[in-house]
Amino acid sequence: MTAPLYPLQFEDLIRRALAEDLGGAGDLTTDAIIPLRMHAEAEVVARENGRVAGLTAATYAFTLLDPAAKIEIRFADGEDAEAGATLALVSGRARALLSAERVALNLLGRLCGIATETRGIVRSLEGLKTRVVCTRKTTPGLRLLEKYAVRMGGGTNHRWGLDDAVLVKDNHRVVAGSITAAVARVRQAVGHMVKVAAEADTLADVREAVAAEVDVVLLDNMPLAMLREAVALVDGRVVVEASGGITPDTARSVAETGVDLISVGWLTHSAPALDVGLDVVTAAG
């Protein structure tokens, strides 16, 4: 069970999103139509089947505009909801509910979409040892929440940023002169707790990376036949990851080559948002 996020981790992000939407003049439509003291109750509803993720973070938008708002979460992150299900019940100042609606729904739909697609890929790999991981191809500013959504879908996170693991890519290799030289420089510069991975485009690269004693070999954009050869060549000595252009349609065939991990950037740069909505059920005052 993945630990829930603390408001401290997402409050600033949601505050900035609300400020962007409200601008300098506020919500012209809502402020003109809705009386200041009106109270309302609304349901956050799933319009289609999907995996829930980020519900507490998304509904925090209502709390920021109305600290007295009450949020009743009906589905925990990581649970599946059917179309028509009420994910949460929100009550508070009507103006706050309507003004925060789009920020809350944009974020919730985005995160539920990522979790839903991750769930689909994870399920497609049933019976195989391969795990699904995400990448750093995230929406600027949303990495923490998007990687959280991947976990809610049953996936695993790759490195979070440039500071928590080493990945020697092709451009590093060009500058250093070789994988061997790049890894040697890394070993001199980082601590013993830091994992080192190297990208490999060819079988010769794989041999060099293993000889350099990396922790992970990342097989980049290799055809299936070459992936199988690379897995056999490594023979369990290091972790083997396949990466590059993997989608829900190709994930199973890539995993069947025997790799330990498939990193799927598609999850955070191309997964469609889940359709969610806000329906006001009562208003008074």
Asked if 228 and 278 sit in the same domain, the reply is no
Domain that includes residue 111, residue range: 7-115+272-284
Backbone angles phi, psi at 161, to 5 degrees: -160, -160
Residue 1 lies in a domain: no
Asked if 225 and 101 sit in the same domain, the reply is no
Residue 2 lies in a domain: no
Tally the domains of the chain: 2
213: annotated active-site residue: no
CA-to-CA distance for 221 and 208, rounded, in angstroms? 18
195: annotated active-site residue: no
Question: Which CATH number fits the domain that encloses residue 88?
Answer: 3.90.1170.20
70: annotated active-site residue: no
129: annotated active-site residue: no
Asked if 63 and 90 sit in the same domain, the reply is yes
Active-site residue identified among 137, 143, 207, 228: 137
Residue 19 lies in a domain: yes
Asked if 135 and 192 sit in the same domain, the reply is yes
Tell me the mean pLDDT in the region 161-173. 95
15: annotated active-site residue: no
Quote the pLDDT of residue 31: 96
Q: Is the pLDDT of residue 1 over 60?
A: no
| pLDDT cut 70: percent of the chain above it | 99
DSSP-derived 3-state class of residue 276: strand
Asked if 84 and 172 sit in the same domain, the reply is no
Residue 259 lies in a domain: yes
Active-site residue identified among 66, 77, 199, 260: 199
Tell me the mean pLDDT in the region 134-158. 97
Active-site residue identified among 47, 129, 169, 237: 169
Distance of CA 257 to the CA centre of its chain: 25
| Long-range contacts at 216-222 (CB < 8 A, ≥ 24 apart) | 216/240, 216/241, 217/241, 218/167, 218/242, 218/243, 218/263, 219/243, 219/259, 220/170, 220/244, 221/245
Quote the pLDDT of residue 3: 76
pLDDT, averaged across the chain: 97
Residue 106 lies in a domain: yes
Active-site residue identified among 15, 48, 79, 102: 102
Q: Is the pLDDT of residue 132 over 90?
A: yes
Asked if 90 and 128 sit in the same domain, the reply is no
Active-site residue identified among 101, 205, 208, 220: 220
Asked if 265 and 126 sit in the same domain, the reply is yes
Tell me the mean pLDDT in the region 145-157. 97
pTM, full prediction:
0.95
Asked if 246 and 279 sit in the same domain, the reply is no
Position 234 confidence tier, pLDDT thresholds 50, 70, 90:
very high
161 CB burial (10 A radius; 0-12, 13-18, 19+): exposed
Asked if 93 and 152 sit in the same domain, the reply is no
Q: What is the pLDDT of residues 18-38, one digit of tens each?
A: 999 999 999 999 999 999 999
